[in-house]
Structure 1
């Protein structure tokens, strides 16, 4: 093995190769860093989010809060159930921005509080998960209204004064005949006012949040309807449910499996069965492997170089040295009159090789049957010595 051959088949990666391998990862990290910086910059401003009375976003509600403040109505934002329940009272309107985010236990506690407070509760787009608990006797229709602007078509004073408004969204059905049903779409109302069973309080169910958005407040009668619904009391408590609320994680002693619907458990079981069947299908063996003719011929030098790179990558100097010694012994055996069966037996190969080279054979034993080299330099030296030994035998 010559020095030129060693240089051409070196497995040590160059700087260019390292860059080609790592540039995809580096590019992905740079993109993640840029995205993180952009998100942090966007979130660092004064905007908060959808239906937030502090937000100036198109979907925020700062304009509504400012108009209410001009009428003397104070607005307070709360994010926990305890704060919302403590703030409920006869002179307070409690707006729940996302009722469907509340757990069943939160809904029950909140309804118990609002029922006794004699204040007004405004539910924004409650669906089937929450409407039955927060507004008993009211159900949400599965089909939503695609009509945005609707006419009041009811006797509710606030609706009649506001006129047409963007209330199209979820439609509702109420069993109590005393409920004010307004802004119907295909026969079903999108706004309800449900009087409390006792006291002077009530619950307003609004099928769409559009009348509270900053960019929709000046359209139709949205501003008039929003101010009348939210400004009937001196104080407005704006409840933005949060998943970080401790009351949302209180499962009442139930385990995680108890909180999962039964359909998820059955689906997981079916998934495991499907994975097992797929593993059995892909892992079956229909008899012994059959060799296949390759479409192209691979040069022996390429195969040797590929195996050498694998040895180099795995630091398998012992296997590389064993392959070199075994191949050398196999080639030397017929040259010195040793049968192929005894080519790897020291007691047969070393004496015949010593007689051919007129030596004592003391240096041949560790060369052909010695321990694996300590490092790459020792492996290269071993290859050179075996190559020189084979040339010497062929010449002699």
Structure 2
């Protein structure tokens, strides 16, 4: 019974360890990015809590404004539904709409119908294009926001002149309404508008930024004075905080889509991720090089194949595989020369006696040379190669 020796696998496919080594940097970067996103979300969620809520003492809350108004005899009432806001509109009431863009088209139309003839004041905080057409007809929002935060009044509106400079820099507006007061301009466009609504004496105030209502900004510039005058012109203040859970929003037939309700920051963030992914794909594609059409089969010189495999062995420190390949090839070539069938070339019992008889040498030395252990270092591998060459030359000698 003979056993045939087989060559170790020479596959160059990456192992699990090599895959982990190559991808751990990318995975670590993704993990850090995810951790940063979660941290930012937690921080922002904490800061956004109670935003523009007159009951909140958070930096972005508005309890300080409500307390200031209460000291001047103005009552503040918080409502969260459209029906409450519409029923509260009246000549003795100032209705503040905290986030007008959250209202659907139908909600905006119903609110405008209730406030247009009420004789009271409506204050819109940082409305955008989505809400101006219905809530403030004749007013349009400029696409470029103000680059300055603190602005000067530059208008004849008494409330603005008494307050002086204030942090109104935000969305800029333009209007075609006759008799409107345009205040706190930035690059020629106002950030605060007062639109009169004759003949009932009511008006609509469009405020480009909510900064003057924040707790942590109220004591800066003329913010407190401007907020007090804009919101305290009537004895009652109704603070409307629109909510997506409002029944009027759920039943609106002209409601906006889910993507319209997403904050613009999320949309831009997603777009940036897509751009980054496209750039990464382009970068990786360029590393692979251009596609080159090539006729098959391709003739490759044997020396190139041997050199390429040798480099792979050396890169992997695979001296055992290299030695096994050299010994196997030598046995295959020697077997026919000494009268041993190729099928039995890798059997010591068949090959070694024939070689010893042909060379009249030491069978033990031949066994160590052709079937011995793998070399321990590069020098031993080179020595093995030279001995195998010498053995084959000796056998071929006439």
TM-score range, shorter chain: 0.5 to 0.7
1:298 aligned partner: 308
* Residues in 2 aligned to 1:286 and 1:19: alpha-carbon distance in whole angstroms: 33
**Which segments of 5 or more consecutive residues in structure 2 lack a partner in the other structure?**
261-281, 319-327, 355-398
> Judging changes above 3 Å, is the alpha-carbon distance between structure 1 residues 162 and 20 closer, same or farther for their aligned structure 2 residues?
same
Name which of 153, 156, 175 aligns with 1:151.
153
* Residues in 1 aligned to 2:18 and 2:291: alpha-carbon distance in whole angstroms: 39
Question: Is contact 1:92–1:233 with CA below 8 Å preserved after alignment?
Answer: yes
TM-score scaled by length of structure 2: 0.55
Offset of 1:227 from its aligned partner?
1.1
2:295 aligned partner: 288
SS at structure 2 position matched to 1:298: helix
> Judging changes above 3 Å, is the alpha-carbon distance between structure 1 residues 393 and 235 closer, same or farther for their aligned structure 2 residues?
farther
Question: Within 5 Å, which residues of 2 pair with 1:9-88?
Answer: 42=43, 48=49, 50-79=51-80, 81=82, 84-85=85-86, 87-88=88-89
Question: Is contact 2:119–2:200 with CA below 8 Å preserved after alignment?
Answer: yes
RMSD over equivalenced CA pairs, Å: 5.6
* Residues in 2 aligned to 1:258 and 1:55: alpha-carbon distance in whole angstroms: 29
* Residues in 2 aligned to 1:187 and 1:44: alpha-carbon distance in whole angstroms: 35
For each residue in 1:223-252, what CA deviation from the matched residue of structure 2 results, as whole angstroms up to 9, or x when unmatched? 122012112334433334456667667773
* Residues in 1 aligned to 2:30 and 2:185: alpha-carbon distance in whole angstroms: 53
Offset of 1:300 from its aligned partner?
5.2
Offset of 1:95 from its aligned partner?
1.7
**Which segments of 5 or more consecutive residues in structure 1 lack a partner in the other structure?**
260-277, 309-326, 338-352, 358-363, 365-385
Question: Is contact 2:4–2:347 with CA below 8 Å preserved after alignment?
Answer: no
2:95 aligned partner: 94
* Residues in 1 aligned to 2:45 and 2:255: alpha-carbon distance in whole angstroms: 38
2:193 aligned partner: 192
Offset of 1:135 from its aligned partner?
0.9
* Residues in 2 aligned to 1:29 and 1:143: alpha-carbon distance in whole angstroms: 33
Question: Is contact 2:104–2:252 with CA below 8 Å preserved after alignment?
Answer: no
Offset of 1:81 from its aligned partner?
4.4
For each residue in 1:34-63, what CA deviation from the matched residue of structure 2 results, as whole angstroms up to 9, or x when unmatched? 668856875786961543434444444332
* Residues in 1 aligned to 2:48 and 2:259: alpha-carbon distance in whole angstroms: 38
* Residues in 2 aligned to 1:166 and 1:26: alpha-carbon distance in whole angstroms: 44
> Whose RCO is larger (CA < 8 A, sep 6+)?
2
1:266 aligned partner: none
1:216 aligned partner: 217
* Residues in 1 aligned to 2:144 and 2:18: alpha-carbon distance in whole angstroms: 59
* Residues in 2 aligned to 1:258 and 1:18: alpha-carbon distance in whole angstroms: 39
Question: Is contact 1:95–1:123 with CA below 8 Å preserved after alignment?
Answer: yes
Offset of 1:204 from its aligned partner?
0.8
For each residue in 1:71-121, what CA deviation from the matched residue of structure 2 results, as whole angstroms up to 9, or x when unmatched? 343434455545544544444322223334444444323322322444321
1:378 aligned partner: none
Offset of 1:222 from its aligned partner?
1.8
1:267 aligned partner: none
> Judging changes above 3 Å, is the alpha-carbon distance between structure 1 residues 288 and 390 closer, same or farther for their aligned structure 2 residues?
farther
> Judging changes above 3 Å, is the alpha-carbon distance between structure 1 residues 228 and 298 closer, same or farther for their aligned structure 2 residues?
same
> Judging changes above 3 Å, is the alpha-carbon distance between structure 1 residues 24 and 235 closer, same or farther for their aligned structure 2 residues?
farther
Question: Is contact 1:58–1:214 with CA below 8 Å preserved after alignment?
Answer: yes
2:175 aligned partner: 174
* Residues in 2 aligned to 1:91 and 1:32: alpha-carbon distance in whole angstroms: 52
TM-score scaled by length of structure 1: 0.55
